[in-house]
């Protein structure tokens, strides 16, 4: 029996200008996948040239122009994500955002998980544990506000769609969408979006806020609940280390005068309940079945 095929896919626009480690992201997945579809929106920088410069025959580029008037809850991200997924030809489709990287030490675990569950139709997707780095690459954010697990690998032979860039819904018999039935991938996604330079993060928020029907907030890493942060004791993927050296914030300090928002206060109470009763109040877009 032949091994299940896997397609990688992503979308990106102004990746250089906005400080995305998109080159490391794409490169990290290439050893695992049979092809990698990259939807590249018309950019103000050399994002497209850098993707071509990776030089892998597995990469297939689709150029697009974003609808600048699509200001409805990030739906333009769903459009770009699905353009890429619709072009995937593998049995499974692996989605990575431009600030997400896979660790080389865990590629074998992912392959083993796919091989184990490929012939079980009850498994529609694979769930990854997350490291959300915040402020610097030395700390991760861990609270109910930060999704601890998310689907990033989905069966590409079923009806699925993305309401936004983050997750999928499954449709069957033209009924209302539901969360995918999933198994654990036994691997992590390393999320670096919140350690890019403060300047690049502000540019990103300024550009993307119009797609979410709200104004651009001002970002200051120092304005944050310190109780959410935990030291990162693992190792970073090799491919992202040059980006961490050149583009990530090196240090930051929590503002001692920062006042928690109502949302952050609520999350502190939820964290206490989680610790006391072994619960997890973070949002889940999947149902574990294996």
In degrees and rounded to multiples of 5, residue 148 shows phi and psi of -85, -25
Q: What span, in angstroms and rounded, lies between the C-alpha atoms of 241 and 228? A: 24
The residue among 206 and 194 whose pLDDT is bigger is 194
Average pLDDT over residues 118-139: 97
Residue whose tokens read 């498994």: 123
SS3 145: coil
Average pLDDT over residues 46-67: 96
Up-side HSE of residue 224: CA atoms within 13 Å toward CB? 23
In degrees and rounded to multiples of 5, residue 181 shows phi and psi of -85, 130
Q: What span, in angstroms and rounded, lies between the C-alpha atoms of 90 and 112? A: 17
Q: What is the pLDDT of residue 127?
A: 98
| 73 pLDDT above the threshold of 70 | no
Share of the chain above pLDDT 90, in %: 78
Q: What is the pLDDT of residue 148?
A: 96
Yes or no: say if 169 and 178 are a contact pair by the CB < 8 Å rule.
yes
SS3 167: coil
- Average model confidence (pLDDT) across the chain: 92
**DSSP code per residue over 199-266:** HHHHHHHHHHGGGGTSPPPPP-TTSS-GGGEEE--S---GGGHHHHHHHB-------TTPPPPHHHHH
In degrees and rounded to multiples of 5, residue 33 shows phi and psi of -100, 160
Q: What is the pLDDT of residue 144?
A: 93
Q: What is the pLDDT of residue 137?
A: 96
* pTM check: above 0.85: yes
Average pLDDT over residues 115-122: 96
Q: What span, in angstroms and rounded, lies between the C-alpha atoms of 210 and 187? A: 34
| 273 pLDDT above the threshold of 80 | yes
SS3 174: coil
């Amino acid at each position: 029996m032949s091994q299940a095929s896997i397609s990688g896919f992503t979308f990106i626009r102004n990746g250089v200008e906005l400080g995305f480690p998109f080159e490391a992201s794409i490169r990290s997945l290439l050893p695992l996948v049979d092809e990698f579809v990259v939807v590249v929106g018309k950019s103000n920088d050399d994002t497209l040239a850098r993707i071509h410069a990776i030089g892998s025959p597995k990469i297939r580029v689709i150029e697009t122009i974003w609808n600048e008037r699509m200001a409805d809850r990030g739906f333009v991200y769903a459009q770009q994500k699905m353009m890429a997924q619709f072009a995937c030809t593998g049995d499974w489709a692996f989605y990575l955002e431009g600030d997400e990287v896979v660790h080389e030490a865990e590629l074998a675990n992912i392959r083993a998980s796919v091989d184990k569950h490929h012939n079980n139709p009850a498994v529609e997707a694979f769930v990854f544990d997350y490291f959300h780095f915040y402020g610097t690459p030395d700390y991760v954010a861990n609270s109910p506000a930060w999704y601890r697990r998310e689907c990033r690998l989905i069966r590409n032979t079923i009806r699925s769609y993305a309401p936004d860039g983050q997750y999928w819904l499954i449709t069957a018999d033209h009924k209302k969408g539901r969360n995918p039935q999933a198994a654990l991938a036994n691997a992590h996604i390393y999320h670096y979006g919140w350690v890019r330079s403060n300047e690049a993060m502000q540019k990103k928020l300024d550009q993307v806020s119009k797609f979410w029907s709200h104004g651009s907030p001002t970002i200051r890493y120092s304005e944050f609940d310190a109780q959410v942060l935990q030291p990162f004791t693992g190792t970073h993927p090799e491919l992202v280390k040059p980006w961490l050296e050149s583009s990530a914030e090196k240090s930051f300090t929590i503002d001692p005068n920062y006042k928690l928002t109502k949302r952050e206060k609520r999350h502190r109470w939820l964290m206490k309940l989680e610790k006391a009763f072994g619960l997890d109040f973070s949002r889940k877009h999947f149902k574990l079945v294996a």
